[in-house]
Chains A and B, each alone.
Chain A
């Protein structure tokens, strides 16, 4: 009985359910006011593309948040990863998959460098990734202007346009074609979610990462290789950021230094709205996806109502602040319930002692 009602309350208090309900309400509300919202080609398609890209960005931040750290260079890592892919496409005419791999390696290497500085030099993750973002902010445009004219690389590798811009409706088996509004690139994000989800829910490494986030001292004294896990998450973050950068480039067809510029805020919004703790030790892949979805839905909806970019920024910043306060309220509430549990236990404990004496 109690366990069932507990489960019910825990489902209801799970903010992922709340987010899902909120998304449904928003979609219905916006759609009924502006039927244009359901246009597969003009709204749903681009919106799902944004969700796909930003979800991967959110995961890039989430993996670092899992150990209680942050990556302020997600944008820069996305930019340099995408640049790596673009350069090998342009210079060596490599197949699609090789280009992607090069991008991931470049992003991962930059992330690993941050991880090494954090884990072995013992510098705070903010500072390292902030400084790294500055260095990338300068390096990426400089390299672009060096290797290309006009500060952008347009890539025509076979398969790239299909991956970046085609929809399920372009894939037909016989006469049945997929729905028009679903971009192929969404499946890249889904693949990333599955990999990261499996990592944290099933794999030993993911378990070790979460325990490190829960208490790095205890992890160190429980034979978990803490420095190695810190490097792991930063490498992973760099790779995911690079993947997101590549997806953005593929979706527009041109790779520019501007890739990643608007990633930082989104990268925090998704995980925080989705319930990932800033303190580390708990992550939610689905939550991150839902958190990103809600921000993108709000953004699209407001655009339909003619609200400008500036209004969006004000709103997104406000959402972040509210989400932060919610994060705080959650952790305070968590501490309270723990306290309550201990109070309930202490009479029992004194009874036990009375028996002894």
Chain B
């Protein structure tokens, strides 16, 4: 029954987390000697699959077959021993250890319980040379830059000399030059007959280096191990986002860009690395900030809210310079709201009720002169937004953690609608929610703009940008590389946007 032609086979794996079905009977077949791309939007389930393959999380059902044998790993160590190497998306180094020790971590050469430091150093040096990464293996990891840290992660994946190598967005935060070196190594390894699974958001990389492709959407495999040559970038994007979006009725919008912008950034540089970022959002306008993962989009939003230090330039609200030191300042003094990208960690209080979540931004308004919350007014506010956003709850005192992803996102947005700010920043409005809710969200955002609010949408989903916004600002490597008025024509816009990203790349290489 089992086909040994595959180095790794995933058969009908399902995984459910509280509130989400992360993987729904997905399949994937990985042949020796191929570079296989695994694509999907954020939250489509790619990283979950990697964690299941490497024994960090168990699957609920389905099979994992390695070299023709059904396996299930109980720890990352077992997976490594079965010949599966991995570079995880998160940067997981132990900063107290040296580069060499981080590279061998989990596979430290030992004799009689004693660490063989010479072998550690030599083994680390070997993979570092392979990557052409000129760093002393004895360097403490705490001194490395994020890009260097990422290279250490990659070196760790290569150290075990595995038959199957899983790369989870390895190029998200490294430069073009470093990526090129990585792909040289990848091709060398695949020529030796190793199977490589490559997870990425960067379609250019995928088309330049991969042979086969699997696409996940909302936890399902919508393309399973098919030759990449069957697809073009456009058809892949269609698979990634689903064509349902095109059926949405896009309103005819042409807001004015004259007059004083509601929110304007002038040559803003930040401590976390943004350089000379400028753009403006006018009342009634929806501006989208588009960029790949690691381009510094969410970080920019947080800098506007005073959570990062602005080293140069200024933020203007309604034409006058704003001094924003906290989210409280942003809300109370300048009327700026921010709907976070990561709703579970940053947007919601999962173990609190829907009502408490919806009223958090307006507690001051809902309190009397003695500082007590006016319960009736709070209940009314909560009910108002539960009704207007059509949040599916049994009652307002249900815990938010029990809601589905789409309803959670509605609450996360609702608490800022309740604050009724003139400026609203929405970070990845539709990640991990179903198609119908997506449409509802777009309608809502358009309605906000019609009311004269200035809306800044951050997204890594180009199709969403093309549908939703009036102007697209492109970010790359913590800089704005340009902006275009949205024509709502996907092909035209994707060309302009990709050109803006590429021009920056060329500038860098020449500069």
A residues lining the B interface (CB < 8 Å): 198, 202-205, 207-208, 210-211, 214-215, 217-225, 281-282, 334-335, 338-339, 341-343, 345-346, 349, 352-353, 356-357
Contacts and interface: CB of A to CB of B under 8 A. Distances in A.
A78 B247 CA distance: 68
A338 B400 CA distance: 10
Contacts of A224: 328, 360
A277 to B, nearest CB: 8
Contacts of A335: 18
B239 interface: no
B328 A223 contact: yes
B16 A343 contact: yes
B18 A342 contact: yes
A218 B404 CA distance: 18
Contacts of B373: 202-204, 207
Contact of A338 (B347, B360, B399, B419): B399
6 contacts: A218-B347, A220-B326, A221-B340, A221-B347, A223-B330, A353-B435
Nearest to B395: A3
B48 to A, nearest CB: 15
A342 B402 contact: yes
Interface string B307-345: 100000000000000000011101110000010100001
B423 to A, nearest CB: 14
Given A218-B348, A221-B347, A223-B331, A204 B364 contact: yes
A352 B436 contact: yes
A342 B363 contact: no
Given A335-B18, A346-B16, A356 B434 contact: yes
Interface stretch (B85-93, B350-358, B449-457, B459-467): B350-358
Contacts of B340: 218, 221
B244 interface: yes
A203 B348 contact: no
Given A221-B340, A345-B404, A352-B436, A214 B16 contact: no
Contact of A217 (B244, B346, B364, B371): B346
B242 to A, nearest CB: 9
Contacts of B244: 356-357
- Residue among A223, A224, A353 with the most chain B CB within 10 A? A223
Nearest to B402: A341
Contacts of B419: 223
B227 interface: no
A219 B375 CA distance: 20
Nearest to A214: B349
A225 B328 contact: yes
Given A352-B436, A356-B244, A342 B20 contact: yes
A252 to B, nearest CB: 36
B346 A342 contact: no
Is the contact region of chain B dominated by helix, strand, or loop, or is it mixed? mixed
B151 to A, nearest CB: 29
Is the contact region of chain A dominated by helix, strand, or loop, or is it mixed? helix
A208 B364 CA distance: 10
- Residue among A203, A218, A225 with the most chain B CB within 10 A? A218
A293 B157 CA distance: 57
A356 B435 contact: yes
A211 B338 contact: no
A346 B434 CA distance: 12
Contacts of A357: 244
Nearest to B416: A222
Given A203-B372, A223-B332, A335-B18, A349 B434 contact: yes
Given A211-B360, A221-B338, A205 B371 contact: yes
B436 to A, nearest CB: 5
Contacts of B415: 222
A208 B19 CA distance: 26
B361 interface: yes
B18 A339 contact: yes
B349 A281 contact: yes
B68 interface: no
Given A218-B345, A222-B415, A338 B328 contact: no
A346 B21 contact: yes
B436 A356 contact: yes
Interface string B377-402: 00000000000000000000001011
Given A335-B18, A342-B18, A210 B347 contact: no
Interface string B16-48: 111111000000000000000000000000000
Given A214-B352, A338-B399, 12 more contacts: A204-B363, A207-B373, A210-B352, A215-B349, A222-B415, A281-B352, A338-B402, A342-B18, A342-B19, A352-B434, A353-B434, A356-B435
Contacts of A214: 349-352
B220 to A, nearest CB: 10
Contacts of A205: 371
B348 A215 contact: yes
Nearest to B434: A353
A26 B346 CA distance: 45
A342 B372 contact: no
A356 B435 CA distance: 8
Nearest to B363: A204
Given A221-B327, A221-B347, A356-B244, A338 B372 contact: no
Contact of A211 (B349, B372, B434): B349
B356 A203 contact: no
- Residue among B16, B346, B349 with the most chain A CB within 10 A? B349
A357 B220 CA distance: 15
Nearest to B302: A221
Given A204-B364, A218-B347, A338-B19, A223 B434 contact: no
A357 B415 CA distance: 30
B372 A222 contact: no
